[in-house]
Chain A
């Protein structure tokens, strides 16, 4: 069932903030066109796992992307390979316009205008509201629209794999569902996604596989089809 070579593979990945070890020798992988959820309670190290992949924290272990080791401590180099993280809190450039935010997403675009417009059309197709708001100051939009912009901006970078850190945080349930639905569409188009979520039931609806993190370790690999009820999920959390 598993492909011979996962697109992303972390081996013995650990991370520390000062003297605190937030991630302890984690092994995980993502296969082509797969949506993998990373679940766990607050403080389990979910965000740290994504930050470690991006080289934003001091890490040990290795991360391989398409079979090649990624540089450590060089976020720009990691991002340049098409590994794009939509960070917790979205990280949009608030004082700048929606259009400028999207342009910055395509900062590394080498090709000409045609490729830029192709990417932009894809973003507008997914989030038509961004097209209406192109000239608006990004920081003045609603939380949901900002999250759409953050994802849209990431798509402008033409990601080969998309990492999302709690995209549902602070959003109304309806908006949350809308955004997760877009992620499903993107994944069906073949984009591998790693989705970090505290709201496990939502993520499990989309994911093909899930990792459960606790205290910086992966404590379970979950097959969403086997988790039919909240009780079963709770068993994983408290096992």
Chain B
């Protein structure tokens, strides 16, 4: 009996982390769909979400909701800057996809190092959003931050689905993903859609970073591991499928949690990469199949 509740407890924490991986994975999909680019600066947005919120909270003394909101807006703006400064000039010169993907990796490194210079190498954390003792269901404890993560992620996923289905801009972004040339022939501003996809994706990364930081910590170098997990989530879900990426994230979080318990913490990344390999070997189109 004790074993079962232990396993359930592990699964709960795996789901929480999985939601965050899922949000990051959706970020990959949004940019990929708009442009075909795999944006490896995605991890930097996750890191900055936590770091900027921390700075606003501690240095400027802002309340947490305001600090988080400003942080999300700033990171979204940075997403547009990355698009305009790093991706756009290459795009206009008709650089190959490979070059643009490498450029995003370079942007990741630059942002990471600038953060190190400005903020130092000390890890930071954020207070939990609701400071109450965990809810107990039988022998399982569910922390309020877990509820924030799951509730927040599901809300975001729902809002995104509504945005892509119901709004003109959302539909235009989907149209660009399906056939960019045909979209431009109808006068849909494809380049603005690309900038918007970077803003959206960066905001998703920042939200993921803000949600997860109270349960872990954040520092200048947390971006890459998160980006890798989100990338795996996106591949597992079928690259380019936002909902699939979210499912992929949940699955990845669960597998990692189980691996940590049964095989030891050192094998957490082995488990994650094994999931990736299993999918690449046996189901390269992912859970839901690729979008193209």
Residues on A facing B (Cβ under 8 Å): 54, 56, 75-76, 79-80, 84-85, 87, 91-96, 100, 103-105, 107-108, 153-154, 157
Contacts and interface: CB of A to CB of B under 8 A. Distances in A.
Contacts of B182: 87, 91-93
B178 A84 contact: no
B273 interface: no
Contact of B179 (A75, A79, A93, A100): A93
A76 B175 CA distance: 14
B172 A107 contact: yes
A76 B190 contact: yes
A96 B178 contact: yes
Nearest to A80: B187
A56 B189 CA distance: 14
Contact of B186 (A94, A96, A100, A157): A157
Given A91-B179, A94-B178, A79 B171 contact: no
A96 B185 contact: no
B183 A104 contact: yes
A154 B171 CA distance: 16
Interface in B171-226: 171-172, 174-175, 178-179, 181-191
Contacts of B183: 104
A91 B188 contact: no
A226 B208 CA distance: 70
B185 A84 contact: yes
Nearest to A156: B186
Nearest to B291: A95
Given A76-B190, A103-B168, A107-B168, A93 B175 contact: yes
Contacts of B168: 103, 107
A56 B181 CA distance: 8
18 contacts: A56-B181, A76-B191, A79-B186, A84-B185, A91-B181, A93-B175, A93-B178, A94-B178, A96-B174, A96-B175, A96-B178, A100-B171, A103-B171, A104-B175, A105-B186, A107-B168, A107-B188, A154-B186
Interface of B: 168, 171-172, 174-175, 178-179, 181-191
B33 to A, nearest CB: 11
Contacts of A105: 186
A80 B187 CA distance: 5
A76 B184 CA distance: 5
B178 A157 contact: no
Contacts of B181: 56, 75, 87, 91
The residue in A56, A79, A103, A157 that gathers the most chain B C-beta atoms within 10 A of its C-beta is: A79
Contacts of A76: 184, 187-191
A75 B174 contact: no
Given A93-B178, A96-B178, A79 B184 contact: yes
Nearest to B191: A76
B23 to A, nearest CB: 23
Nearest to B165: A100
Contacts of A56: 181
A94 B175 CA distance: 9
A224 B178 CA distance: 39
Contacts of B172: 104, 107
Contacts of B191: 76
A80 B190 CA distance: 12
The residue in A91, A94, A103, A157 that gathers the most chain B C-beta atoms within 10 A of its C-beta is: A91
A104 B185 contact: no
Contact of A75 (B171, B175, B178, B185): B185
B186 A153 contact: yes
Contacts of A87: 181-182, 185
Contact of B174 (A80, A85, A93): A93
A35 B172 CA distance: 31
Nearest to B172: A107
B178 to A, nearest CB: 5
Contacts of A157: 186-187
A193 to B, nearest CB: 16
A56 B186 CA distance: 13
B178 A79 contact: no
B243 to A, nearest CB: 13
B187 A108 contact: yes
A79 B178 CA distance: 19
Given A76-B190, A79-B186, A91-B185, A104 B171 contact: yes
Contacts of A92: 179, 182
Closest 10 CB pairs of A and B: A91-B182, A79-B187, A75-B184, A80-B187, A108-B187, A93-B178, A107-B188, A104-B175, A93-B175, A85-B185
